[in-house]
Amino acid sequence: MNSFETNIARLTRRNSALAAVLRQREGGALEIVPARTGVMSARINGRWIHSAYDPIKEAQAWAEGQSYQDGETMVVFGVGLLYHVEALCARLPRTASIVVVAPDLNVVVDAAAARVWGDWMDRVSWAWGTTEAIGEQVAAAGQPLRLVTYAPAAAFYTDSHRAIETVLQRGVASKAGGQLSIAVVGPIYGGSLPIARYAVSALESLGHRVRWLDHSVHATSYHQLDLLKNSLHRVALQSKYAEMLSRITMAQLAEDPPDLVLSLAQSPLILPALEHLRRKKFLTAMWFVENYRHLTYWQQLAAGYDFWFVIQQESCISALKQAGAKDVRYLPMAADPSVHRPVDLTQAERDEYGSDVSFVGAGYANRREIFPRLLGHEWIFKLWGNEWGGAAGLTPVLQRNGARIDTDTCQKVFNASAVNLNLHSWGGAGFDPEGDFVNPRTFELAACGAFQLTDRRTLMPGLFTESEVATVSSPDDLPGEITRWLREPEGRVAMAAQARRRVLAEHTYPHRMRELLSQIGVASPDRIGSILRGTRQAGALASAAADAFPSVASTLGTFPSTQRVELKQLAAQIRSRGPMGTLSREDLMVLMLDEYRSETKDLV
């Protein structure tokens, strides 16, 4: 019997359905090549997916590098010749549950034909079939899940793996019942400041305990430094000021250590502070709501955060990874429907804020170059916003002498305009040739139920369809598109309504925050994941402690079952028995641990 038959016979005993399907497949996904050590190695499209020298040693090194906690299910992405799975089986206790995800069964056929599997294969479960089916099989294998990737083999199936991961994240999100303690670190000023506010509000609406470390309170004194004429002094002091705010943040975090530190772009946490937080086992994430090509300070911070969430895809993700970021994921912008909403306007407000065509925003170079083309037409064009100095030709349409427009006014303009222009900022002429991310205004306009005409963005199709948001490919087409849409009021209303429905269904900040937490939860099953699953709640903890530590279980039973209980609270509950309270040995151990816990905050 050849190795394929031997392996399929072994597999049949545990998973006859898979074995039967494998018999129908022809394989051929892998090119099997002997390694120097004599065992088989493999290539895909000329690229090695196992070592050309010693695949076994390489696999052992990979397995050694994987984290594992008792009770977890290891979900392996990347099949290849399964050397890494064999090494993982050897490293983990026999009770560990291991699931191999196989989006392409031809690879499994090749693996079965290349070498004979040992007893270790009897410990492996397979997840195969459609994306949904794989998700279900993985979920059925038991919680918590720890996803591990054997990158050389997984690299050829990234789309499939991403889809499967999304299914798993949805599973985490749908079961998320636990309350996290989250510190949101905001910027001193700038465009990410309102985003921080929306994120805080969204996280609270999801039931988490949120502390907003709001550095906008320092903006006035920070801007005083702008008055310094000596640029060397100014830059040096601004840097020192940011460092000081970083220390303040650390002190605030030390006082009430959160489960997750979520920074918004421009938050004043510097790399040494982030490294210190990591040493102290704080989990950190950054939502970088900026164009990574324009603001490049991420290069200095990439290695500092445990998780990066960005509004751009491949090029941005690979740039951050190259700079040292370990985990980078796409998380587009959103709207806050409690702020961005349809508004009933008075006639006076319609007169003031209304127009055929409007734009709200700052005077970036591309807008200065494009907007003069919109003058002298039959429509009324109103331009709102600041930083338009020197754009003399636009003065007749510039409202309020170029004053900064607050959020409330912005909503009124959006609601009162027939066509809201939404031109993403860019430093050159025309439309940004690399325009990829979709700006917050797109979501905000949609949430207001306002019609918008937007420059084309490569990431738009993943967020809105053409029947929800109108786009234009070239500045030359802009006047024609405006004319067209002004003549189609019913079409505008219908599109705006569809866009609003889409935002409410998929693109609010609670959606984004749920997605962010579920992604971190999947990647961090023993920390954020376990809290989201509710295994840190009093009821679950009491069950886990019942057999070995009945006294602690009894104390846990005094909390509401769904209340999240930390060591600190458990110790406080024990102490609350008062001076005459009796203590078990378990109680004493908890109190001792809490004594040491209270001294682990030396962050400053």
Please tell me whether residue 307 binds another protein under the rule CB under 8 A: no
Single-letter amino acid, residue 385: G
By CB under 8 A, name the one of 79, 391, 446, 552 that touches another protein: 552
Alpha-carbon distance of 87 to 90, in angstroms, equals 5
Residue 200, both tokens: 């805080």
Asked if 541 interacts with another protein (CB under 8 A), we say yes
85, 77 contact by CB (below 8 A): no
Over the window 175 to 214, marking each residue x when it contacts another protein by CB under 8 A and - when it does not, the resulting string is ------x---------------------------------
Q: Is 254 in the site for another protein (CB under 8 A)?
A: no
Could you give the CA distance from residue 565 to residue 539 in angstroms, rounded to a whole number?
9
Give the residue among 346, 343, 310, 345 at the shortest CA–CA distance from 327: 310
Stretch that binds another protein, among 31-39, 396-404, 437-445, 536-544 (CB under 8 A): 536-544
582 binds another protein (CB under 8 A): yes
Question: Alpha helices of 297-341 — where are they, by DSSP H?
Answer: 298-301, 314-322
Site stretch for another protein (CB under 8 A), options 140-148, 371-379, 414-422, 546-554:
546-554
Query: Least distance from C-beta 528 to another protein, angstroms?
Result: 10
- Radius of gyration, CA atoms only, the chain: 28
With contacts defined by CB under 8 A, name the span among 89-97, 136-144, 238-246, 587-595 that binds another protein: 587-595
415, 447 in Cβ contact below 8 A? no
Tell how far CA 64 is from the center of its chain.
27
Q: How far is CA 121 from CA 117, 142, 146, 452, in A?
A: 6, 19, 19, 57
Largest Cα–Cα separation, the chain: 88
Q: Is 560 helix (H, G, I), strand (E, B) or coil?
A: coil
Using the rule CB under 8 A, which residue among 527, 529, 532, 603 binds another protein?
A: 527
CB of 574 to another protein, least distance (A): 8
CB 534 to another protein: min, Å: 13
Exactly one of 218, 280, 321, 456 binds another protein (CB under 8 A); that residue is 280
Query: Does 276 participate in binding another protein (rule CB under 8 A)?
Result: no
| Contact pick of 492, 580, 603, 604 for another protein (by CB under 8 A) | 580
Interface pick for another protein out of 536, 560, 572, 603 (rule CB under 8 A): 536
Report the nearest approach of another protein to the CB of residue 97 (Å). 17
| Closer Cβ to another protein, 406 or 599, answer by number | 599
How many whole angstroms separate alpha carbon 513 and alpha carbon 264? Answer: 12
Structure tokens at 260: 């997750």
Give the DSSP H/E element, type plus range, for residue 107: helix 105-114
Q: Which of 520, 514, 522 is nearest to 138 (CA)?
A: 522
Tell whether residue 314 is a contact of another protein (CB under 8 A).
no
With CB under 8 A as the contact rule, the residue among 119, 230, 378, 596 that binds another protein is: 596
119 belongs to the binding site for another protein (CB under 8 A)? no
Query: Between 276 and 597, whose beta carbon lies closer to another protein?
Result: 597
As a whole number of angstroms, the distance between CA 568 and CA 597 comes to: 8
The span of 46-54, 298-306, 436-444, 541-549 binding another protein (CB under 8 A) equals: 541-549
State the pairing for strand pair 181-185/260-264: parallel
Torsion of CA 366, 370, 371, 376, to 10 degrees: 170
Binding segment toward another protein, per CB under 8 A, in 210-218, 240-248, 373-381, 573-581: 573-581
Burial bucket for residue 269 (CB in 10 Å: 0-12, 13-18, 19+): buried
Strands (E), 221-354: 260-264, 284-288, 307-310, 328-330
User: Taking CB under 8 A as the rule, which mask of x and - marks residues 66-105 in contact with another protein?
Assistant: ----x-----------------------------------
Q: Work out which of 368, 544, 561, 604 binds another protein, going by CB under 8 A.
A: 544
Using rule CB under 8 A, residue 520 touches another protein: no
Q: Which two tokens stand for residue 220?
A: 């006035």
Binding mask 213-252 for another protein (x = CB under 8 A): ----------------------------------------
Residues 6+ apart with CB under 8 A from 86: 59, 117, 118, 120
CA distances from 237 to 215, 216, 227, 240 (A): 17, 18, 12, 5
Stretch of 224-232, 393-401, 502-510, 559-567 lying at the interface with another protein (CB under 8 A): 559-567
Residue 45 token pair: 């499209």
Q: Which of 39, 303, 323, 583 binds another protein (CB under 8 A)?
A: 583
Question: Of 319, 439, 586, 603, which one interacts with another protein (CB under 8 A)?
Answer: 586
Helix or strand or coil: residue 356? strand
In the bound complex, what is the minimum distance in angstroms from residue 595's beta carbon to another protein? Answer: 5
Among 54, 259, 290, 468, binds another protein (CB under 8 A): 259
Task: Pick one of 257, 363, 475, 525: the residue that binds another protein (CB under 8 A).
Answer: 257
Q: CA–CA separation, 447 vs 33, rounded Å?
A: 56
Closest to 107 measured CA to CA, from 68, 141, 157 = 157
Q: How many residues of this chain bind another protein (CB under 8 A)? A: 44
The least distance separating another protein from the CB of residue 214, rounded to whole angstroms, comes to 23
- Which of 41-49, 353-361, 434-442, 560-568 is the region at the interface with another protein (rule: CB under 8 A)? 560-568
Residue 600 interacts with another protein (CB under 8 A)? yes
Interactions with another protein, residue window 31-50 (CB under 8 A)? none
- C-alpha distance from residue 437 to each of 206, 282, 297, 455, 472 (Å): 26, 30, 18, 11, 15
Residues in the site for another protein, rule: CB under 8 A? 70, 181, 257, 259, 280-281, 527, 530-531, 536, 541, 544-545, 548-549, 552, 565-568, 570, 575, 577-586, 588-597, 599-600
